[in-house]
Amino acid sequence: MLKAENLLYSYDNGVKKVDTVLDNLNLNIKKGEFVAVLGHNGCGKSTLAKHFNGLLLPLGGDVYVQGINTKDEEMLWTIRRQVGMVFQNPDNQIVANVVEEDVAFAPENLGIPSAEIRKRVDDALKTVDMYRYRKHAPHLLSGGQKQRVAIAGAIAMRPECIVMDEPTAMLDPMGRAEVMETILKLKAQENMTVVLITHYMDEAAMADRVVVMDDGHIVVDDTPRNVFSQVELLKSLGLDVPQVTELAYSLNKEGFDVNYDVLTVTECADAIMDYVRSIKSGN
């Protein structure tokens, strides 16, 4: 679905070439996968995201979307139609001043007849559960609602894949929960391929696969469970682990033999209970 081969990129600030942002990066994302990309600020996450729909072109190596090379200029719009993008600030990606008109923006650009646009807009708004607000002005909605409108705007193109660049970074906890719920729904119902770039470990824990980046490389690429159990490695990269993992890990370090291979509250509680039981039966 999405493939990066020996991807190389650096920003040119006009004076001199700055450090390489992406350095020989290889990544292959399969259809229907939900991949979370983690990494501290400036590790090249957003730059990577912009390669997936041809906003940036590789300086070295290649990026393929459904087998099409993003360097192929004639196929650029085919690629963009297949990869929906959602960005951090919802205010700066909403174009129109009525919700439904904004969701219609992409299909309008694709030259789809108006009856079909209507259908796509309604479907997209229902998927993100914003259909009730279709006549509202976007600036009067909450952050989470705005971001859901932005997601609807992307899925109205009927893309194969959706790439989100820290969509929850500017939202309150409630808005974040709304957006995560929408992402999980998209994956479950539409079998959408999702690439989620995030700072929140709890969000990454919900993914099928976690990719940890550092200095333009991929350091770890595995299931959330296998990634988050490497607590020391993540900490050395300036990253956190989910709160429950952190708790179990700290207990473990203090000499309590608690299994810290946990991602959810229930799992953590079970692990602690197991430990307590083992002590009880041991005594």
Partner 1 sequence: MLKDITLGQYFPIDSFLHRLDPRTKILIFILDIVAIFMAQTVESYVVLILFTFLVMLISKVPVKMYFKGLKPILYIIVFTALLNLFLTQGEDLPIFGYSVGITVEGAIVAAKMATRLVLLIIGSSALTYTTSPMALTDGIEKLLKPLSKIGFPTHELAMMMSIAIKFIPTLIEETDKIIKAQQARGASFDTGSIFKRAKALIPMLVPLFISAFRRADELAIAMESRCYTGGDGRTRLKEIKFTHKDLAATICFLMFFACVIFLDFIF
**Integer-rounded Cα radius of gyration of the chain:** 21
As a whole number of angstroms, the distance between CA 126 and CA 155 comes to 11
**Subset of 75-94 contacting partner 1 (CB under 8 A):** 77, 80-81, 84-85, 87, 89, 91-94
Does 280 engage in binding with partner 1 (CB under 8 A)? no
Does 11 engage in binding with partner 1 (CB under 8 A)? no
Q: How many residues comprise the chain? A: 283
Q: Which of 14, 67, 111, 282 binds partner 1 (CB under 8 A)?
A: 111
Does 104 engage in binding with partner 1 (CB under 8 A)? yes
Q: What angle do CA 9, 197, 270 make, to 5 degrees?
A: 140
- Beta bridge partner(s), residue 197: 37, 165
As a whole number of angstroms, the distance between CA 27 and CA 219 comes to 11
Q: Which of 8, 68, 96, 170 binds partner 1 (CB under 8 A)?
A: 96
Does 124 engage in binding with partner 1 (CB under 8 A)? no
Does 118 engage in binding with partner 1 (CB under 8 A)? yes
Candidate segments 34-42, 59-67, 150-158, 256-264, binder of partner 1 by CB under 8 A: 150-158
Does 274 engage in binding with partner 1 (CB under 8 A)? no
Does 266 engage in binding with partner 1 (CB under 8 A)? no
Residue 163: closest CA among 44, 48, 245, 9: 48
Does 139 engage in binding with partner 1 (CB under 8 A)? yes
Give the Cβ contact number of residue 253 at 10 Å.
11
H or E stretch covering 275: helix 265-282
As a whole number of angstroms, the distance between CA 237 and CA 5 comes to 24
Residue number with CB closer to partner 1 (81 or 225): 81
| Residues at the contact surface with partner 1, assessed by CB under 8 A | 50, 53, 55, 77, 80-81, 84-85, 87, 89, 91-98, 100-101, 104-114, 117-118, 121, 135, 137-139, 153-154, 157
